[in-house]
């Protein structure tokens, strides 16, 4: 599989993402945001975490205007896989490739820690190696991870099986670190080829890091 990892000014998780996919034996290529096309034969476009353009205005508000994003949007709308992690998830919301919006954390503080997640659906390529109801432990690191969507939008997410992950404790009970509607930590589009989540699976790939739960997530795209 060929993975294109998009790099913006302020991105800080591109090397983690590259390391993770190369650990899984996949071909990766870093793509600078000013490029206007994706590498030929790309299977997965990964928008990594960080603080693109310093998160001025609001998270990812400027990144969506980068030249490469036209190619990313085209890739997504043609059915290609796109994964947005943290700031990358915010980009997918800003470009409307995913529904909803992101607000400041309810406690107005940056949060950085491991947090448990419950798998809500594995009816998709991303989480196909996990089981519904399974509890995993993945790091979160964000100041604007408070996912918001109105009641009608939330109803649509549920009807189309688009809620992927929710925040919980070790026993699976709801435990919301940032105020997200419905404890939502990750979603996908209706076509199930565009995925966004605030937690960082690329930071949970080795026991020395505290968890390997991220591997099962990332390898879901590998044929």
Distance between CA atoms of residues 47 and 75, nearest Å = 13
The reply to whether 86 belongs to the active site is yes
Distance between CA atoms of residues 161 and 156, nearest Å: 8
| Candidates 13, 86, 168, 188; catalytic one | 86
> Out of 94, 144, 202, 219, which one is annotated catalytic?
202
Which is the catalytic residue, given 115, 116, 142, 200? 200
Burial class (CB in 10 A: 0-12, 13-18, 19+), 209: middle
Residue in 16, 29, 85, 26 with CA at minimum distance from that of residue 223: 26
Q: Is 120 a catalytic residue?
A: no
Phi, psi torsion values for 138, nearest 5 degrees: -135, 140
Q: Is 200 a catalytic residue?
A: yes
What is the set of active-site residues? 86, 200, 202
């Amino acid at each position: 599989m060929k993975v294109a990892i998009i790099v913006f000014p302020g991105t800080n998780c591109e090397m983690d993402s590259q390391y993770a996919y190369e650990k899984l034996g996949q071909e990766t290529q870093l793509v600078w945001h000013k490029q206007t096309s994706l590498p030929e034969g790309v299977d997965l476009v990964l928008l990594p975490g960080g603080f693109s353009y310093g998160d001025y205005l609001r998270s990812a508000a400027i990144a969506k205007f980068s030249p490469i994003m036209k190619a990313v949007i085209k890739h997504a709308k043609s059915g290609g896989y796109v994964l947005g992690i943290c700031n990358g998830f915010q980009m997918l919301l800003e470009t409307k490739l995913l529904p909803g919006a992101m607000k400041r954390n309810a406690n107005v503080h940056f949060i950085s820690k491991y947090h448990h997640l419950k798998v809500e659906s594995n009816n998709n390529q991303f989480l196909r190696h996990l089981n519904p109801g399974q509890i995993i432990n993945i790091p979160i690191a964000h100041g604007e991870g408070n996912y918001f969507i109105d009641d009608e939008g939330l109803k649509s997410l549920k009807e189309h099986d688009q809620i992927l992950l929710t925040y919980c404790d070790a026993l699976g009970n709801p435990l919301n670190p940032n105020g997200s509607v419905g404890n939502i930590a990750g979603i996908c589009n209706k076509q199930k080829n565009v995925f966004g989540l605030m937690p960082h699976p690329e930071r949970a790939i080795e026991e020395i890091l505290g968890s390997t739960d991220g591997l099962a997530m990332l390898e879901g795209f590998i044929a």
